[in-house]
Amino acid sequence: MRAGQRDQGRAPSTTRALLHSAVIGAASAIVIVLLGPVLLTAALASPVVYSLLGSVHILGPLIAGRWVRRPGSVLLTAFVAALLAVPFTSLGLLTIPALCLPAAAIEAVLALGGFWRTGRPLVWFAAAGVGGLVIFAISLTVIDPRVLSGGVVALTLAGRVGAYLAMAAVAVLAERALTRAGVARLRPAGTPRAASAPKASQHDRGSAG
């Protein structure tokens, strides 16, 4: 009986988690499209500048990871954002791997580090750093070889990882701001329900009366 009740409770929670991720993904797609001309100009001007500005794409998925606190929320949000942005970006279908591969790396580190249970900040920022390494590796395949040099590669690496760490910090601040604003959120995975606290015994209720 209790197992059935738990399963019934998980279904609405899972649906809400998917909806939250989808909404944040849609908002991220709008930001990506609006910033498209600026990012395209930055990409043509300097890969180092683009490594800093282009990393804003991961902000929405990271916010979803902090707010939804469910495995898969980062990757799902990235996929929704990329899919909606594809028709309106210069990258086209390449937008999907550009967002989803770093998101998948972040998800892997969060899972391996037990972040969904513990919420440890070290795991959170380590995951963001790994995501930065992945997007750096992807960017090397599209940068014009004529502008590649040791200095450019080093600065692009630092820019990508640093920007991803900065986006991870912004996501933490966004989570706190939403909490202070009283926005309703899902209960983080693994957190016991308040209603599951032991009920008062008849003796306690009689004493209270």
Residue written as token pair 């693994």 = 190
Q: Stretch 187-204: mean pLDDT, rounded?
A: 46
The whole-model pTM stands at 0.81
Which two structure tokens, joined as six digits, stand for 91?
A: 């990258």
Angle between helices 59-68 and 73-85 (to 10 degrees): 140
Highest mean pLDDT among 13-22, 62-71, 200-209: 62-71
Task: Give residue limits of the domains in the chain.
Answer: 10-183
Residues 125 and 110 sit within 8 Å (Cβ to Cβ): no
Residue written as token pair 């040099």 = 149
Express each pLDDT in 70-87 by its tens digit. 999 999 999 999 999 999
Q: Which residues, 6+ apart, have CB-to-CB distance to 91 below 8 Å? A: 98
Q: Stretch 60-77: mean pLDDT, rounded?
A: 95
**How would residue 150 be classed by pLDDT, with cut points 50, 70 and 90?**
confident
| Angstrom distance (rounded) from CA 10 to CA 7 | 5
